[in-house]
Structure 1
Amino acid sequence: MIAVYPGSFDPITLGHLDIIERGCNLFGSVIVAVARNPNKAPLFSVQQRIQQIQTCTQHLANLELDTFDTLTVTYTQKRQAQVLLRGLRALSDFEYELQMAHTNHSLSPHIETVFLATSNEYSFLSSSLVKEIAKFGGSVAHLVPENVAIELEECFTKTPPSVSIPPPTAPSTPTD
């Protein structure tokens, strides 16, 4: 059985990697499909994201990497996959993902969505959070694969965040 795990993966996190590894244990083949979304301004190019994922998933023999720029369900049909694999971190994810699963099922009733609960240690983790921490110089080594942590550090040391520091104000003196 073929499963597609779609996402932007900008960047891939250890939470994503957890879902990928567990998906590879459940399905004969897993395709990690990196979305090309013209409405978003990603930190890393699609090719960089593919390379990041490739570097940290070399140990998975039944994994394939690809990109797509269509509806997820259309891509899944094109790849003749039977399953859309999705990770759930919290109840808020479930509401959105359930809506998407029903929508995808209405478009293609032969494709099932399978949800995997993210492991506890990654339940708070998102790519947006990782980028925010890295942007302000925090360590993300415990949140992303090593190769990604290095790339994030390089990215943000080249272009440090613009932080407005207000000019010092003169101390107020009491008047008589």
Structure 2
Amino acid sequence: MKRVALFPGSFDPFTKGHEDIVLRGLKLFDEIIIGIGRNARKERYFSLERMTRLIEEAFRSEPAVRVISYDDLTANVARNEGATFLLRGLRNTTDFEYENGISQVNRSVYEEVETVFLITSPHLAPISSSIIRELHRYGRSVDAFLPYQLEESKV
């Protein structure tokens, strides 16, 4: 049976920390679906279309990785995509507390799904999408934190 994992997130933006989790996850799974979730309560800094394109480009040489966007419960998306695993990265204990609750809810929606947590590589743990957005907003280079290049404009 093919081991398919959904790696869900807002990925606004997708960082080298996220890339690290996907690349390490490929040692565990046959396919990883990077799922960019829409959050009606948040306005994106980088457009969904742009982020999808950038992530696809970053993984163009990895046939076992594909990118989707969705507006549904993550557990429903996993079921619909044939994923029996959810892949998540943990930077610290705060991430664990948050992710633990979500994993329990996902399991109640889709009983067959298992959440697999990978600890972020230490040199990437300080990177967060919110820090990158803030740096970018004020004109600082963020290229060192991303697996792709951004133009100066945020749009």
Could you tell me how far 1:113 is from its partner in structure 2? 0.2
Q: Is the 8 A contact 1:24 1:60 kept in 2?
A: no
Q: Secondary structure at the match of 1:154?
A: coil
Match of 1:80?
82
Match of 2:153?
154
Query: Which is higher, the Rg of structure 1 or of structure 2?
Result: 1
Match of 2:100?
98
In structure 1, the gaps of 5 or more residues are 157-176
Aligned equivalents of 2:7, 2:154: Cα separation in 1: 26
Is 1:49 matched up with 2:51?
yes
TM-score (norm 1): 0.83
Could you tell me how far 1:146 is from its partner in structure 2? 3.4
Structure with more relative contact order (C-alpha pairs < 8 Å, separation 6 or more): 2
Could you tell me how far 1:137 is from its partner in structure 2? 2.4
In structure 2, the gaps of 5 or more residues are none
Residue-pair matches, total: 153
**Where in structure 2 are the equivalents of 1:101-140 lying within 5 Å?**
101-140=103-142
Match of 1:142?
144
TM-score (norm 2): 0.93
The code of the aligned residue for 2:139 comes to G
The code of the aligned residue for 2:70 comes to F
Q: Is the 8 A contact 2:136 2:154 kept in 1?
A: no
Match of 1:174?
none
